[in-house]
Amino acid sequence: MDQLAAGQITNAQAANMLGLSVRQIKRIKKEMQSNGIQALGHGNAGRKPKHALDPSIAARIIELAQTDLKDANCTHMSELMAEGYQISVSPRTVQRLLKRAGIVCSTKRAPRHRRMRERKPQSGILLQCDASPYDWLEGRGPAMSLHGIIDDATGAILGLYFRPQEDIIGYLHVFRQVLENNGIPLCLYSDRHTMFFSPKMDKLTIEEQLQGKRVNLTQIGRILDELQITHIPAHSPQAKGRIERAWETLQGRLPIEMRLAGINTIEQANQFLPGYIPRYNARFAVPAADETPAFRLLTPDMDLDMILSIRESRQGLGGSLISYHGTKFRLLDAYGHVVGLARKDPVFVLTHMDGSINALYKGKCYSLAEFNSTPAIEDSTSAAAQEPKAPRMPWKPPDDHPWKRASYERQQHIQQAREATQTKNRQNNSFPLAAP
pTM: 0.68
Structure-model confidence comparison of residues 300 and 382, the more confident one: 300
**131 and 276 co-located in one domain:** yes
**Is residue 383 domain-resident?**
no
User: Do 131 and 274 reside in the same domain of the chain?
Assistant: yes
Assigned domain for 403 exists: no
Total domains in the chain come to: 4
Task: Note whether residue 427 is domain-resident.
Answer: no
Beta-bridge partner residues of 163? 145
Same domain, residue pair 324 and 358: yes
DSSP 20-54: --HHHHHHHHHHHHHHGGGGGS-TTTTPPPTTPPP
Q: Which of 60-74, 263-277, 310-324, 409-423 has the lowest mean pLDDT?
A: 409-423
Strands (E), 292-371: 310-315, 321-324, 327-332, 346-351, 357-361, 364-370
Would you place residue 378 in the very low, low, confident or very high pLDDT band (cuts 50, 70, 90)? very low
pLDDT above 80: residue 407: no
Q: Which of 284, 319, 343 is at the close of a domain?
A: 284
Question: What does the CA dihedral 313, 319, 320, 323 come to, rounded to 10 degrees?
Answer: -40
In a domain, 406, yes or no: no
**Is 91 found in the same domain as 19?**
no
The parent domain of residue 7 ranges over 2-40
Choose the most confident range, by mean pLDDT, from 40-49, 303-312, 399-408. Answer: 303-312
Average pLDDT over every residue of 377-386: 50
Q: Specify the pLDDT at position 202.
A: 62
Q: Among 264, 257, 259, 263, which residue's Cα sits nearest to residue 280? A: 257
Classify residue 117: in a domain, yes or no: no
For residues 34 and 311, the model is more confident at 311
Q: Quick one: 214 and 317 in the same domain? A: no
CA distance 78 to 91: 6
Q: Do 151 and 272 fall into the same domain?
A: yes
Q: Per-residue pLDDT tens for 166-202?
A: 999 999 999 999 999 999 999 999 998 888 988 776 6
Q: What's the pLDDT at 436?
A: 46
Query: Are 240 and 163 within one domain?
Result: yes
Q: Is residue 54 part of a domain?
A: no
- Res. 150 pLDDT band, cuts 50 70 90: very high
In a domain, 347, yes or no: yes
Single out the residue of 114, 54, 133, 110 nearest to residue 87, CA to CA.
Answer: 54
270 and 145 inside one domain: yes
The pLDDT value given to residue 210: 65
What is the four-CA torsion angle of 397, 402, 404, 407, rounded to 10 degrees? 160
Question: Buried b / exposed e across 389-414, counting CB within 10 Å, b at 16+?
Answer: eeeeeeeeeeeeeeeeeeeeeeeeee
Q: Could you tell me if 170 and 252 lie in one domain?
A: yes
Q: Say if residue 202 is in the same domain as residue 251.
A: yes
The residue among 108 and 75 whose pLDDT is bigger is: 75
* Structure confidence at residue 121 (pLDDT): 94
Which of 321, 352, 370 terminates a domain? The answer is 370
Query: Looking at the structure, do residues 159 and 193 belong to the same domain, yes or no?
Result: yes
Q: Is the confidence at residue 379, as pLDDT, over 70?
A: no
| Residues sharing a CB contact under 8 Å with residue 61, sequence separation 6 or more, in sequence order | 81, 87, 89, 94, 97, 98
Look at residue 349 and tell me if it is in a domain.
yes
- Is the pLDDT at 376 greater than 50, yes or no? no
The CATH number of residue 170's host domain is 3.30.420.10
Per-residue pLDDT tens digits for 121-145: 999 999 999 999 999 999 999 999 9
Q: Which residues pair with 322 in a beta bridge?
A: 329
Judged by average pLDDT, the poorest of 69-78, 201-210, 215-224, 238-247 is 201-210
The whole-angstrom separation of Cα 92 and Cα 204 is 57
> Quick check: 295 pLDDT over 70?
yes
Amino acid at 360: L
pLDDT per position as a tens digit, 7-43: 899 999 999 999 999 999 998 888 888 888 877 877 7
Last residue of a domain, one of 251, 284, 317: 284
Same domain, 134 and 33: no
Computed over every residue of the chain, the mean pLDDT equals: 85
